[in-house]
Structures are given as structure tokens and as C-alpha cells.
Amino acid sequence: MRNISVEEFRASCAAAQDLEIVERKGKGHPDSICDAVMDRISVNLSGEYLERFGTILHHNTDKCLLVAGEVAGIFGGGMVVNPMLLVIGDRATFEAEGEEIDVCGIAIDTATRWFDENLRFVKPEHVDYQVELKPGSSELTDIFRRGGELLGANDTSAAVGYAPLSFTERMVLDTEKHLNSSTFKEQYPESGEDIKVMGVRRGKSFDMTVAMPLIDSFVESEEHYFRMKDDLIDSIQAYISGYLEENKVSLNTSLKLNNLDVPGRGLEGIYTTVTGTSAEDADCGQVGRGNRVNGIISLNRPASSEAAAGKNPVSHVGKIYNILSHRIADRIYTSVPDVEEAYVWLLSDIGVAIDQPKVAAAQILMKKGSVDSVREEVKEVIDTELENIQRFTMELARGMVSLY
């Protein structure tokens, strides 16, 4: 029997609060790059281990530093002077059953392909790689040799997830996805991928600030930059208006784009890049400093402290519980009648099978009725998801669940 508790959430739902602050970092942001690349490395390592040995071996590729490079920006197209450096670190299994695994080769090949697939103007020569992956400690690697259908948790770690997203959270998330969509890039190829969207709702007023570099090869002059910027502002404003209309929501909105810009200062007063990411010369990146596993940074919500990207998908609860807590909360919200908001808390006990958390708790806010009336249904949802956790871990291993 799992120890599952359900109680009433004794606070207002996010949408009912007077103030909401929500941030989303796009795929070209240095922190997002680190999360995406390192998790892809874990997925590809898992695939290699499964194909060759029939099981996922110990690894955690969740330590990464993207060191900014140096560029010479010029109207009409600058150049990369010194490349970015991606430092790939932590632990992996390099040998099993007398066979060697090319961990470093897999890591570099994965990172190279990710840049090629996601950042249009980053060329192979723009990024250098330093692989600092090493074999794991004997105690943690032994977890993978102990057998059993489910591995023991490799850490004592807590996670929290919630559902549903509020309208503010969804609008910030969807706006960045729209600006980094292939359709938008075809229409505005001068827009870079390093996008950050900050949304602030105060009652019925909503302020959005967007940072999005323009690729300098498309920019002929300072005047040309500001003309393109005006077109982009009109396009984003039209998207926001359509989004509000589609969702039948009334808000007084304001929009700012590249708010640091100052006319009359040339390239020093405008936001341009050579490659579309500020990692080329302005901003370093790290795993865990970007979006939470549901794609946003929402200051009104409780948040897990673990960086999920790159952690192994079969024993590291910092990844498994972080994502699973959101999935369980979403299933409670969608399948249990009259639930307005659900929060789910999971706490592991190191060494204990991952389907047996030390704490599995839900806090429920009802639209009507009492928590007592749905308590058993909520417990059943949590119990079922934990019962099927092995299937969930395989979804993580195959990269079927987005973390960013």
C-alpha cells in the first residue's frame, strides 16, 4: 500500500490572484540550449545502452556550461571571432560486459546535431566542445546492478507539479513558441532564436516584454533595424490580440520589444547578433537556470529545485518525480470532476524503489463540492500513475516527453 494523502489547497488559484509574473526562455537562450542538449545526450546514451546491453546503464549528463564566445557585429553581416565553448560534464558508463562505449563521441555528435537542427545561423565552427564526463561512483552505479523490475531512487529528493496552467502562463508559453515557430521564421527570417518573454498580469492589465535579437546580416543600417522592429511589434501585437479573442479573454495589454534599444547609438544601441543567440558573445548558459519542466518560470507557483535535463530516466528522481508530478496533477485536473487546481508533491527515499515514494500528496482546490467527495478518486489517479512508472521512465528514455 502506498502512503498517499489528499488535502484541500488553502489559497486562491493562480488566475484569481491579482499579480502573476511568468517568464519563458526560448530555445536559443543559453540556458535553454544547455538543457536541451544535455537531455538529448541522455536520450542518445540511453538508446546506445539499450541497444547494446538491453538496459539503461548509469549516467547523469546534467552538468553543463555554455561559455560565450566573441563576435564582430557589422551591418550587413558580422563574423564569429572566437567560438562558444560547450562544457559537457558529470557521469556516464564507459564500459560494460568488456565492451567500450564511445560516450564522448556520442555527446559531441548529439550536441553538434542539436545546434544544426535548432539554430539556423550557428555553424559547426562556431562551437567548441570540452567533454568532462567521468565514470560514476561505485555506490551509485551499483544501483543499476542490483536488478529488479524497478531501480531504487538514487537520491532523497522532492518535487512538485501543478495543473492547469493559468491563462497568463499559457499566453507567455505560446507567444514564445509562436515567435520561434517555422512559420514565423519564414515570415521574419531576421528574428533570432534567443527569445525571452516576460509577462506580468496585474488584475485586468497585462504587460509583456520580449527580447529577440535581429540577425545582423539582414540589417542594413540603424534606421533599417528600427523599421523591422516596428513590423515585428505590429506582428506580435496582432498575435496577442488574436490570442485574447480566441480564448475570449479581456485584458488591457502593453508590449515592449528589445527595451534596451536607444536610437542614435548605432550597433551599440540595438539588439543584433551574428548567430541568433546571445551565447555568441554576451551571455553564458547553465543547466537548470532555464524553464521548469512544464516550459515556464512561474513565480506564483511552488517549484522543484532539481535540474531535470540530462539526469538518467530510470533511477534519478530529480528527473522522474519532477516531470511525473506535473503529469499526475494534470490527470487529476482532467479526470476528477470539479477540480479547479491540483498540486502534487513527491518525495523519494534513497535506495527505495521509485514507485514507492516516501511522500505522495495532493493539494486540491475545488470549483464546487468538497475535497472529501473526490479524495478516493485522486488517490486512485496517483496510485495508478505510480503503478505505471516503468512505462513512464521508458517514455523519458526515448525522448518522448519534452522538458523545456
The confidence score (pLDDT) of residue 278 equals 98
| Alpha helices (H) along 180-316 | 182-187, 222-246
Q: Are 131 and 108 in contact (CB under 8 A)?
A: yes
The candidate with the shortest Cα–Cα distance to 373, out of 8, 2, 4, is 8
Residue 300: strand, helix, or coil: coil
Query: CA dihedral in degrees (307, 311, 317, 321; nearest 10)?
Result: 60
The confidence score (pLDDT) of residue 309 equals 96
Q: Are 401 and 323 in contact (CB under 8 A)?
A: yes
The candidate with the shortest Cα–Cα distance to 402, out of 317, 312, 298, 292, is 292
The candidate with the shortest Cα–Cα distance to 166, out of 62, 262, 83, 251, is 251
Which residues have CB under 8 Å from 168's CB, separation 6+?
Answer: 14, 15, 20, 22, 199, 201, 206
Q: How many residues belong to the chain?
A: 404
The confidence score (pLDDT) of residue 136 equals 79
The confidence score (pLDDT) of residue 139 equals 57
Residues 16 and 29: their CA atoms lie apart, in Å, by 31
The confidence score (pLDDT) of residue 101 equals 97
What is the CA 328 to chain-centroid distance, rounded? 18
Backbone angles phi, psi at 13, to 5 degrees: -65, 160
pTM for this one? 0.96
Per-residue pLDDT tens digits of the chain, which is 404 residues long? 688 999 999 999 999 999 999 999 999 999 999 999 999 999 999 999 999 999 999 999 999 999 999 999 999 999 999 999 999 999 999 999 999 999 999 999 999 999 999 999 999 999 999 999 999 765 566 667 666 678 889 989 999 999 999 999 999 999 999 999 999 999 999 999 999 999 999 999 999 999 999 999 999 999 999 999 999 999 999 999 999 999 999 999 999 999 999 999 999 999 999 999 999 999 999 999 999 999 999 999 999 989 999 999 999 999 999 999 999 999 999 999 999 999 999 999 999 999 999 999 999 999 999 999 999 999 999 999 999 999 999 999 999 998 87
Q: In one letter, which amino acid is 351? A: G
Q: Are 346 and 325 in contact (CB under 8 A)?
A: yes
CA diameter of the chain: 69
The confidence score (pLDDT) of residue 293 equals 97
Q: In one letter, which amino acid is 274? A: V
The confidence score (pLDDT) of residue 74 equals 96
